[in-house]
């Protein structure tokens, strides 16, 4: 066989698996976005939520406010004591009396990045390439008796988030995050369940966070509302820390 023809065949076989994987990844994501109502989500300007957060045996009453582009405020209370975390698109700040922080202060760079990602309610998988991330499709796995598609998202800072999507319903059942915080590598799992539609968009109403199999946080949303008017000033840091 002509050596040039042989080389061409070898080259084609070498690129087919990656090409097919890219096509399959694209199809899985496209179906996922269709199922959750991503196109409708793109038209949403604000999201407000109410619910409870269970952590360390304490149940907080929690509200969150999100507004395009990239603004978020989370506030919670327990026995007349309240915490706040907020990001206005450039600066993140917080108050947390439960950690001895009684006056508002700027958050660390790592906390700012994390809060800014929470402010992106379109999600990290949507337009992941434009955000500078890499996504790859891994081998299918099982969560219990459910077959799941597995997608690993890698960020330039080394953070890896692996998503597990139900192969039948296309919703995200779980994610595993590996990241460096304060120079120490941390890993945690997030489980999403109790999905319900709100104005044609699918949201998980229960979110559990666990570390090494031990649950450390549980969110239960009692209300999710879209496109309510939210003033910009609630995201801004108090004047005393500007």
What confidence score (pLDDT) does residue 19 get?
53
What confidence score (pLDDT) does residue 23 get?
77
Judging by beta carbons within 10 Å of its beta carbon (0-12, 13-18, 19+), is residue 5 exposed, middle or buried? Answer: exposed
pLDDT digits (tens, 9 = 90+) for 229-242: 999 999 999 874 44
Mean pLDDT of 118-147: 94
pLDDT level of residue 99 (50, 70, 90 thresholds) = confident
What confidence score (pLDDT) does residue 17 get?
52
What confidence score (pLDDT) does residue 114 get?
86
List the single range of 32-36, 103-107, 151-155 with lowest mean pLDDT.
Answer: 103-107
One-character DSSP codes across 185-218: EEEEEEEEEEEEEETTEEEEEEEEEEETTEEEEE
Mean pLDDT of 92-120: 90
pLDDT at 9 over 50: no
- Work out the mean pLDDT of the chain and round it to a whole number: 90
What confidence score (pLDDT) does residue 21 get?
64
Whole-angstrom distance, CA of residue 96 vs CA of residue 85: 8
In sequence order, the β-bridge partners of residue 87 are 72, 92
Of 138, 145, 118, which Cα lies nearest the Cα of 49?
Answer: 118
pLDDT level of residue 13 (50, 70, 90 thresholds) = very low
Domains, the chain:
3-241 (2.50.20.10)
Mean pLDDT of 131-153: 96
List the single range of 4-8, 66-70, 96-100 with lowest mean pLDDT.
Answer: 4-8
This prediction's pTM:
0.86
Share of the chain above pLDDT 90, in %: 77
One-character DSSP codes across 15-76: HHHHHHHHHHHHHHHHHHHHHHTHHHHTT--EEEEEEEEEETTEEEEEEEEEETTTEEEEEE
Mean pLDDT of 85-109: 92
Share of the chain above pLDDT 70, in %: 90
């Amino acid at each position: 066989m002509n050596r040039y023809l042989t080389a061409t065949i070898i080259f084609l076989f070498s690129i087919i698996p990656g090409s097919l994987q890219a096509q399959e990844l694209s199809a899985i994501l496209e179906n996922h976005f269709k199922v959750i109502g991503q196109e409708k989500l793109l038209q949403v300007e604000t999201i407000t939520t109410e619910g409870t957060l269970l952590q360390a045996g304490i149940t907080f009453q929690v509200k969150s406010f999100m507004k395009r582009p990239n603004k978020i405020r989370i506030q919670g209370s327990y026995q007349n004591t309240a915490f706040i975390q907020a990001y206005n698109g450039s600066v993140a700040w917080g108050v947390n009396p439960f950690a001895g922080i009684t006056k508002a202060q700027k958050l660390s760079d790592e906390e700012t990045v994390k809060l800014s990602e929470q402010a992106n309610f379109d999600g990290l998988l949507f337009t992941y390439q434009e955000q500078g991330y890499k996504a790859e499709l891994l081998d299918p796995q099982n969560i219990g008796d459910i077959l799941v598609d597995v997608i690993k998202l890698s960020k330039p800072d080394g953070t890896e988030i692996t998503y597990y999507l139900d192969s039948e319903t296309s919703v995200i059942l779980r994610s595993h995050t590996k990241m460096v915080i304060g120079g120490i590598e941390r890993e945690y799992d997030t489980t999403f369940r109790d999905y319900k539609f709100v104005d044609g968009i699918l949201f998980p109403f229960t979110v559990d966070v666990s570390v090494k199999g031990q649950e450390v946080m549980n969110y239960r949303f009692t209300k999710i509302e879209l496109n309510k008017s939210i003033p910009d000033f609630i995201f801004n840091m108090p004047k005393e820390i500007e």
